[in-house]
Amino acid sequence: MKSFHVDDVVGKNVIETTGMVLGRVKDVVFDVSSTVTLIVVDSEGRERQIPLSKVTGIADNIVARSDMTSGLNVSASGLECQFCGGVLMEGQRICPACGRAQV
């Protein structure tokens, strides 16, 4: 597992698996129980917290799973599996991750 420095993530864009840009990482905070949280500021200056457990990849951008209930405007087009949270393409009715039909 590759490890990252704070400098590696601060200033990077955070993009949900649905493709929605959440914002840019402003800071990284952590507590004594090893919970790491990214502080992300969107284009309108609003801060949100993205737990590192939601992050699925760090490269040129940071990719985060989109199962946050506190999202500002999480897409209403059903892009997530109701059962496993897997990413669904628009109009997809069978989850590619768990194979269950969406109702």
Residue with smaller CB distance to Zn ion, 26 or 93 = 93
Q: Which of residues 23-82 bind Zn ion (CB under 5 A)?
A: 81
Residue 14's CB is within 10 A of a number of other CB atoms, namely 24
Tokens 């490269």 map to which residue?
59
Q: From the CB of 102, what's the least distance to Zn ion, in Å?
A: 8
> What does the block give as tokens for 28?
């990284």
Q: What is the DSSP letter of 102?
A: P
Q: Strands (DSSP E) along 31-82, which ranges? A: 36-41, 47-51, 55-58, 62-64
Q: How far is the CB of 85 from Zn ion (least distance, A)?
A: 7
**Whole-number Å distance between alpha carbons of 26 and 6:** 10
Q: Between residues 19 and 96, which has the closer beta carbon with respect to Zn ion?
A: 96
Interface with Zn ion (CB under 5 A), residue from 21, 72, 98, 101: 98
Tell whether residue 88 is a contact of Zn ion (CB under 5 A). no
Among 84, 94, 101, 102, binds Zn ion (CB under 5 A): 84
Per the CB < 8 A criterion, the answer to whether 95 and 88 are in contact is yes
Binding interface with Zn ion (CB under 5 A): 81, 83-84, 86, 95, 97-98
